[in-house]
Structure 1
Amino acid sequence: MRVGVPIFLFLAAAGFHTALTASLESAEKEDTFVGLEQLSELQKRDQEEFEAAQMSEAVQDENTEEENDTQEEDMTDRDGNVEADQHESESDEDVDGMRQKREHLEANVEEADETTNLGSPRLPG
């Protein structure tokens, strides 16, 4: 019996060691699994934040493009108004020139009428 007790103690210690090792490995695997779940959740959050940031940038880019388009339209309208003003100014100059020509012609016609009236006898009326 003396030989059986040390063997029994040895087998009990080996079994305890194996059970303890298995328990620790199980806990490590569980921690690793929980860690992976947490990591997965963090990655999902990061991905969502990244997508939100991209959407925000896209919206800002669209707003910037709209502002640029609006500015370009304003510039085009302003240029069109300047051209229209220049055209009106040219038209006004043309009208003024035509008016001066007409006045000059009327003055010449009146002078011719006066000259013709002076040279011809007036008929009593």
Structure 2
Amino acid sequence: MRVGVPIFLFLAAAGFHTALTASLESAEKEDTFVGLEQLSDLQKRDQEEFEAAQMSEEENDTQEEDMTDRDGNVEADQHESESDEDVDGMRQKREHLEANVEEADETTNLAEVE
């Protein structure tokens, strides 16, 4: 019986040590898992913020392109307006010249008739 007590105590201490080690490893894994979960949440948030920033940047680029297009359209409209004015001026000159030619023809016809 004297030999049994030390063996029993040794086995009890070894079991306690094994249980304690397993418990600590389990707690460490849980901490690691919680840490990874928190890290994952942070990464998700960062990714969402990054995507939102990209979308905002694309919208800004699109707005700038729209403004550039509008500016180009305004310039084109001004150019067309100037072209229309030129066409109107040329049309008036042509009509004036045609009227002068008709008058000249009438004058010529009158001179021939007399």
Instruction: Name the TM-score, length of structure 2 as normaliser.
Output: 0.52
| Separation in 1, partners of 2:102, 2:25 | 124
- The higher radius of gyration belongs to 1
| Separation in 2, partners of 1:54, 1:114 | 76
| Separation in 1, partners of 2:44, 2:91 | 80
| Separation in 2, partners of 1:116, 1:2 | 155
Q: Alpha-carbon deviations, 1:59-110, whole Å to 9, x = none?
A: xxxxxx9999999999999999999999999999999999999999999999
- Who is 2:105 aligned against? 113
Structure 2's unaligned 5+ residue stretches are none
SS in 2 for 1:84: helix
In structure 2, relative to structure 1, the CA distance for the partners of 1:69 and 1:113 (3 Å cut) is same
1:55 is displaced (CA, Å) by 1.1
In structure 2, relative to structure 1, the CA distance for the partners of 1:15 and 1:74 (3 Å cut) is closer
1:113 is displaced (CA, Å) by 20
In structure 2, relative to structure 1, the CA distance for the partners of 1:2 and 1:52 (3 Å cut) is same
Structure 1's unaligned 5+ residue stretches are 57-64, 119-125
| Separation in 1, partners of 2:36, 2:89 | 89
**What is the root-mean-square deviation of aligned Cα atoms in Å?**
6.8
1:10 is displaced (CA, Å) by 0.3
Instruction: Name the TM-score, length of structure 1 as normaliser.
Output: 0.47
| Separation in 2, partners of 1:109, 1:8 | 135
| Separation in 2, partners of 1:26, 1:113 | 114
In structure 2, relative to structure 1, the CA distance for the partners of 1:16 and 1:55 (3 Å cut) is same
Q: Alpha-carbon deviations, 1:5-57, whole Å to 9, x = none?
A: 1100000000000000000000011011111111110000000000011111x
| Separation in 1, partners of 2:95, 2:34 | 101
In the TM superposition, what are the counterparts of 1:1-125 in structure 2 within 5 Å? 1-56=1-56
In structure 2, relative to structure 1, the CA distance for the partners of 1:54 and 1:8 (3 Å cut) is same
